[in-house]
Copies of this chain bind each other. A is one copy, B any other.
Amino acid sequence: MIAELGAVPPVAEATPPAAGAIASILPALRTMLGERLSTGNSVREQHGRGEGVPDLFPPDAVTFPESNEEVAAIARLCSAHRVPIVPFGAGTSLEGHVTALRGGLSVDLSRMDRVLDVSPEALDCRVQAGMTRLRLNAELRSHGLFFPIDPGADASIGGMAATRASGTAAVRYGTMRENVLGLTVVTPDGRIVRIGSRARKSSTGLDLTRLYVGSEGTLGLITEVQLRLHGLPEAVSAAVCQFPDVRLALDATISILQAGIPMARIEFVNALQMRMCIRYSKLEGLAEQPTLFLEFQGSPAAVAEQVELVQALCEEAGGNGFLWANRPEERSRLWKARHDTYYANLHYLPGRSQMGTDACVPISALAECILETEADVAATGLLAPLVGHVGDGNFHLGILFDPTSPEERARADGLARRTGERAIRLGGTCSGEHGIGMHKLDLAAEEHGEALSLMWAVKNALDPLGIMNPGKLLKPLN
């Protein structure tokens, strides 16, 4: 049947599943999976939160499939009884992607964790969704290869694809959007569909790969991922440069990007975050000032040239000169300090929780966005250090609040919301890499405007029963 003249298909969410629907599929799941089905409280709680989510929404049961066929059989059962499906990778999501807001079944893919194929000639590999980032890189090392996307946590590759992850190395290598060549997806009605190919580019049809990358489990389950890989760099060097103010640090960043220097990482750390890092990681010789952490990769000669150019550009912008970290252990110490900001913050203010939020703007608007955000932080009276993958215009705010005080939590919520709104107003997005999950539905709706109705049309077309990770990614239209 053809829809009414010019109308888009209905966009309301599907009816929530009937209470107790899970009960009708448990016997079949038990027969299929045996011990790999769990309804125990501890396993359910472990799958009902993700990182940094204060409230718990446990699924009714958790499954641990080991093959595409098992995932497909689970999906068919859930479809037949309208049981919500919540895909689960490593559980490192910060926005509540894995919470079971309407109960249902958590499908934990951690047992599907093999490398299926590696080609050093084609610079690609195919992995199952439950493979984690660090283990993949350990397996690739013997081939002289690595997978560059580094969101910090040791996330699963499937989860990284589902949330369009990126992190510190995206300025050089792109995000999951640029590094996923193809996928195997299990549709909610239980079909196993291979999308994309091993070709680096293609112009043969709608780009389903990019549609599922970042879909946060709302369209289907990602079970396999074809990844682009890169050769291990011959030389790596790192440095730190401090600036008298935020704007000068970002002027230097813009100059570096305009010069086309292929930086491996450009990380910004604001003055407050530096104070916490210096104290926690015992960094010597550094002041509580806006700081750039820089990494260079390439051949020794290329690295030497990049360093010289960047040093000149930083000096020109008013930077204080470079502090070097050329030996691997010095470099590790520096990046460990950067990666340990979460612990540094909690250590600085014991008893507080951290609400992490991120936003991304055009780089031309980044100084303005960060300065306004710092002023907003000051006005709230909360401590909220700021770090950023500034080569991409992306920054994170770690808002510290007293979890026992509803008033402080509300203040933290308000600060996070205004940060997203500010990014949208400046031509950017309310999340560069954490995603929407359950927390940013309103902000994303504000960002997308009319485009949200197109997203709902696509969602309803590919998940007509609305069983895939309900309550995430897309705010209901009415």
Contacts and interface: CB of A to CB of B under 8 A. Distances in A.
B260 A202 contact: no
A121 B258 CA distance: 7
Interface in A446-471: 447-452, 454-455, 457-462, 464-466
Given A258-B120, A465-B5, A177 B201 contact: yes
Contact of A201 (B6, B15, B166, B301): B166
A423 B447 CA distance: 40
A360 interface: yes
Interface stretch (A24-32, A274-282, A342-350, A362-370): A362-370
Give how many copies assemble into the complex: 2
Given A191-B450, A299-B305, A455-B208, A203 B464 contact: no
A451 B464 CA distance: 17
A242 interface: no
Contacts of A365: 122
Contact of A197 (B193, B302, B427): B427
Interface in A201-224: 201-208, 210-211, 213-215, 219
Contact of A80 (B6, B254, B260, B393): B6
Interface stretch (A58-66, A376-384, A431-439): A431-439
A429 interface: yes
Contacts of A465: 2-3, 5-6
Interface string A6-34: 11111000110000000000000000000
26 contacts: A7-B189, A7-B464, A8-B462, A122-B393, A124-B362, A177-B207, A191-B450, A193-B449, A194-B451, A197-B424, A198-B427, A199-B429, A199-B432, A202-B360, A202-B429, A203-B432, A204-B431, A204-B444, A205-B436, A205-B444, A206-B214, A207-B207, A208-B458, A211-B211, A231-B260, A301-B301
Given A177-B207, A195-B448, A206-B459, 10 more contacts: A5-B79, A6-B76, A119-B364, A193-B451, A199-B423, A203-B433, A204-B429, A206-B211, A206-B458, A233-B260
